[in-house]
Amino acid sequence: MASKRAKLLEKVLGNVSICINNGELIVGSKTPKPLGSPLYPEIACDWVEAELDSMSSRKEAPFLVSDETKRILRTDVFPHWKGKQVSNRLNESLTEEVKTTLAEGLFLHYYRNRTIGHITVDYENALRNGLRSTKRSIELKLNRCTKGEDFKKSDLLKAMATVCDALCVFSKRFANLARELQSKEVEESRKHELEQIADICDRVPGQPARTFWEALQAFWFIHLALNLETNGYAIGPGRLDQYLYPFYKQDLEAGRITRDQAKELLRCLWIKFNELTVAKEGETAKGSTSYNDFQNVNLAGITPDGKSAENDLSLLCLEVTGELGLPQPQVSALISKKTSDNFLLEACRVIRLGFGMPSLFNDDVKVQAMLDKGKTLKDAISGGINGCVELVVPGMERMASSGYVNLAKCLELALNEGKNPVSRKTIGKATPNPREFQTFSQLMDAFRAQLAHVLNIKLSYDNLARRTYAEYCPVPLTSVLVHDCLENTTDYHAGGAHYNQPMVCLVGIATVVDSLAAIKKLVFQEKRMSMQEMVHMVNQNFSENEMLRQMLLNRTEKYGNDNQSVDELATEFVEMLCDQVRQMRDEQGRSYAANLIPTTTHIYFGSQTGATPDGRKAGEPLSEGVSPAQGRDVNGPTCVLKSVSKLNHVRCSGTLLNMKLHPSMLKTDHDLAKFRSLIRGYFTLGGFHVQFNVVSAETLRDAQEHPENYQNLVIRVAGYSDYFVRLSRDVQDEIISRAEHVC
């Protein structure tokens, strides 16, 4: 199967239509259209067939599909792949329990039309040594194979060699095209650029990069080919400023390039990142309404010898990010105690521009969290961020993130003996009647039982999905670029990477914590209502008692306000979640880690969940990440950060905090200095991540009403930024509903 997959990629790279657009310095695109997307029919195309006529008019991430493309798909593609897609093989094996759990909104997974993702390969080694060198290593290992060697192993090695050659052929095609265009070009400056592009594409990525431009182009060819090999979720560049800096530095010192010329090359790369769009199946599109994939560029952090890793290229990347204001790549600044105040201040200047970048990470907590997951100190220091906020060791890890679990639904089941109060189906574990609970701990026991039940179902799905992708969707190019896959002669999807860290995303933290706090206070401490009254009121969606709902909303403590009692409950709750998740073990015996992010599934999950005891009505969005519930953080940004910092971020594989600031808070340099101190204080207290929207609700409401005036308005959604007017109305409304902090 690996050889078949390699031949498929070889055919794509050798035959796909290519173009070099006017003015481009970095070349290569996923499709001839700047914002087009392949469909990967071998992975899943039944959903494409079902949505083909509605894809251009659907609310979430619409795509225009020409009549000719529709004809080809219906005549040639769909019939060929009918019943043979990876998704077919996966869906055929799903149990009724898994299907029911999905349908009832208890969890959402990636793999119906996306392959296993969250991939950051070893770009550095590929740039320094070239793919020809890697191919020689593959051939040496292949020559040592005995006749009795496992067929799968020799097949994988042949596939690895094939994709190395295929990528070199791909680059040569661009060299030839550049020379063809050069022969017709009349402008001397562009003629010279095309000559340089041709020479570069002749060399990389087959041979080692020698210059900054060659390194950028080699990176892009590899990154693009990974995206063409499979529609893997979140293929991330990683710590780009670290592995590109030596090329930049030596070019500057040799006088081959100026800082401005390097900046222009980076601008070209940033534009290419924005061309990598993704066609998503309807339900998946509801969970993440963006076209963009999660290409996370990490800046700064610390070096292997414990010094600040910031350099001039780090600053240059910040400048380009701020000047272009594009939604991709996702730029993340890794901030350590060793990071200079100047670098953090420059990051704050870009944040002030209002489009949600860079996202800020505590690099010291990152190292501790990776050590907690079994990484060596060296690998923990070199580690970075992939996807939204997930920890990864570049070139050494299969993260194996597989989807989301609805925590609020687990609470709903605990309050209804395992039944969904809307459908009346028993979809959870049979737990005692909550109306008879005499203590808060009995409620928590019921919640833990429901969570464990859902996690076990999720685990069975994950194991099935990974087996299916390992068997039917090997990824030889990814395997070439991830350590130990070659050494073990084991495909990336089959667990060949040095580290294999399974994880699960848990959604609705603050919604559940605020609900538990309300029950604990009103039922068990103050005894102002019985559990029977609480359950009845919630199941009736507060239709019989709006006054009590207002009391729940406004008279009970809410997480995010530096309130000791509710923050302690939040801390205990997250510890319990981490304990439960760590008991999950995949088929190789590897322990899971909890990832506290939603993307935008908190909106979808909210639509599938009834009212909750925090006063939230049925169908409303859940809270997102580890952020306070929408509008509940009323004591200012300092209290939010103090509450969130109390959680044990080290035990998680990622936590996400969104904050919204009014632009008036960051007007002056003095404001920026205070803002920098706020971030330093949060990280000193142990917080892991924070990202900011610096935009007023008034502006966002006006953009809803007059989208034609805000076509370039980019805001932070979840672990990504996107054009506000392209988002669905419910996502826009949820962003507006977040508390807006004003000085």
- What H or E segment, with its residue span, contains residue 512? helix 509-519
CB atoms within 10 A of CB 662: 17
- What H or E segment, with its residue span, contains residue 403? strand 401-406
In DSSP terms, which residues pair with 693 in a beta bridge?
660
Contact at 8 Å (CB) between 308 and 340?
yes
**d(C-alpha 725, C-alpha 241), whole Å:** 32
Contact at 8 Å (CB) between 187 and 37?
no
What is the residue type of 540?
Q
Q: Which residue has the tokens 């904050």?
A: 659
**d(C-alpha 452, C-alpha 476), whole Å:** 36
3-state secondary structure of 453: helix
In DSSP terms, which residues pair with 360 in a beta bridge?
333, 690
What is the residue type of 471?
E
Contact at 8 Å (CB) between 464 and 442?
no
Neighbouring residues of 330: CB distance < 8 A, sequence distance ≥ 6? 294, 295, 296, 297, 357, 359, 388, 719, 720, 721
In DSSP terms, which residues pair with 333 in a beta bridge?
299, 360
DSSP string across 381-418: HH-EEETTTEEE-TTTEE--EEEEEEHHHHHHHHTTTT
Q: Output the CA–CA distances (angstroms, integers) from residue 36 to 61, 102, 295, in the order listed.
A: 12, 30, 17
**d(C-alpha 430, C-alpha 35), whole Å:** 49
Q: Output the CA–CA distances (angstroms, integers) from residue 270 to 349, 372, 421, in the order listed.
A: 19, 34, 48
Structure tokens at 170: 């791909």
Contact at 8 Å (CB) between 475 and 493?
yes
Collect contacts of 666-670 with beta carbons under 8 A, ≥24 apart. Answer: 666/348, 666/351, 666/352, 666/694
Helices 312-324 + 341-352 axis angle, to 10: 10
In a 10 Å sphere around its CB, with 0-12 CB exposed, 13-18 middle and 19+ buried, how is residue 574 labelled?
Answer: buried
| Phi, psi at 736, each rounded to 5° | -65, -35
**d(C-alpha 104, C-alpha 210), whole Å:** 55
The β-bridge relationship of strands 689-694 and 401-406 is unpaired
Structure tokens at 290: 């963006």
Identify the active-site residue in 268, 388, 578, 639: 388
What percent of the chain is helix, strand and coil (3-state, nearest 5)? 50, 10, 35
**d(C-alpha 636, C-alpha 627), whole Å:** 13
Does 388 qualify as catalytic in the annotation? Answer: yes
CB atoms within 10 A of CB 684: 12
Does 390 qualify as catalytic in the annotation? Answer: yes
Structure tokens at 321: 């990010």
Contact at 8 Å (CB) between 367 and 649?
no
Contact at 8 Å (CB) between 329 and 270?
yes
**d(C-alpha 118, C-alpha 91), whole Å:** 22
Q: Which residue has the tokens 């195309």?
A: 45
Identify the active-site residue in 42, 51, 281, 390: 390
CA-wise closest residue to 476 among 103, 152, 18: 152
Structure tokens at 454: 């859902």
3-state secondary structure of 440: helix
- What H or E segment, with its residue span, contains residue 298? strand 296-300
In DSSP terms, which residues pair with 503 in a beta bridge?
401, 593
- The C-alpha R_g of the chain, in whole angstroms, comes to 26
Active site residues: 388, 390
